[in-house]
Structure 1
């Protein structure tokens, strides 16, 4: 065993350094579900900046220093407070915000977000089949981004009001009627944030022909 380690010490050192880099500095996250449509598609792989908010001890949630503050509208990866699963959602509300949803409309501190209809699309939702999707621009305070609703799907369209605790965040999927988010597992403590999704690295149509989607490569994920 010692001979094997000695013969491959350069490669093993590379793996160790790569592991530390990926768990402390930068990472990538494949998109496996439709919860962030229309902005993220199944088959996208996004670059995650792990230093956007905190410097953490590798492989832990222990923060050594804060490097920035999460903002409303950021797309973030985090560990689910329910079961530890890695998720990717959008920050909809910040610490101290009082937030609720009424008939799909988001209200923050009593002020309703503004909505602009963008277009219509067809969304395949297993096992229901092809359903009509309505795409909107949601303007909530200083954040503006696209969302999607599925009027034919039974969903939690009314929620709250709740006040987001200190050092916690309320997460919503952009595909509002097909997303397991803070409406179901509650707010997310800052310690569980992994990093901010910055842009799409690569993309392929994993639901169809597996053809690369070259038009999505390098696409920024920062909100408007």
Structure 2
């Protein structure tokens, strides 16, 4: 071990620091499904700011210092215990909010969210303080309605932008704050899974809304 350390300590220290950096400061994540279409596509690789909300002990979810709270409309990466995997969704309901959905139209704290039509049948959802694209396939989907629910303290209501094809808080429930990994605001690169994994260069370094 001493010989190994003496010969390769530079590489060992480099990789240790790199893993700590990716664990606690910044990382990237693949998008494996279409639950966030049209914002994110299968094959996108997104950046993750792991210090957006908390300074954490590397390789853990233990917070040393709270930096900020998630804002409505943030695209958040979290390790869901309920789903038993890492997910990417959008923050819709903040702690204390009352949220309902009627025919794929949100009501937040009793106020109806406005919607505007976009090209290709997509919509623009005008969340308070944040506008973003949305995909709705059928107003009669089993996901299209839920009764008013109040978001508990230290929890968030998350929804996918592809509303009829997203296993989000309508399936897994509210997301605890301590499951959050970080916030994403950009696509780093993108590969087209349906076209021989060729790069989608138009999506490289694309800012997310």
TM-score scaled by structure 2? 0.95
In 2, the alpha carbon distance for the partners of 1:81 and 1:90 equals 17
Q: Work out which of the residue numbers 194, 205, 209 in structure 1 matches 2:196.
A: 209
Shift of 1:75: 0.2
Number of the residue aligned with 2:178: 191
Contact 2:61 2:179 in 1 (8 A): yes
| Larger displacement relative to structure 2 (65-74 or 1-10) | 1-10
Number of the residue aligned with 1:129: none
Contact 2:104 2:139 in 1 (8 A): no
Number of the residue aligned with 2:158: 171
When the two structures are aligned, how many residues end up with a matched partner?
209
Residue 81 of structure 2 corresponds to residue 81 of structure 1: yes
Shift of 1:5: 3.6
Shift of 1:151: 1.9
Contact 2:83 2:172 in 1 (8 A): no
Q: Following superposition, which runs of at least 4 residues in structure 1 exceed 3 angstroms of deviation?
A: 152-155
TM-score scaled by structure 1? 0.89
Q: Which runs of 5+ in 1 are unaligned?
A: 121-133
Shift of 1:152: 8.6
| Larger displacement relative to structure 2 (200-209 or 146-155) | 146-155
Shift of 1:2: 4.0
Number of the residue aligned with 1:180: 167
Number of the residue aligned with 1:4: 4
Contact 1:42 1:207 in 2 (8 A): no
Identify if the C-alpha distance between structure 1 residues 142 and 59 changes in structure 2 by more than 3 Å, giving closer, same or farther: same
Number of the residue aligned with 2:92: 92
In 1, the alpha carbon distance for the partners of 2:126 and 2:176 equals 24
In 1, the alpha carbon distance for the partners of 2:32 and 2:187 equals 14
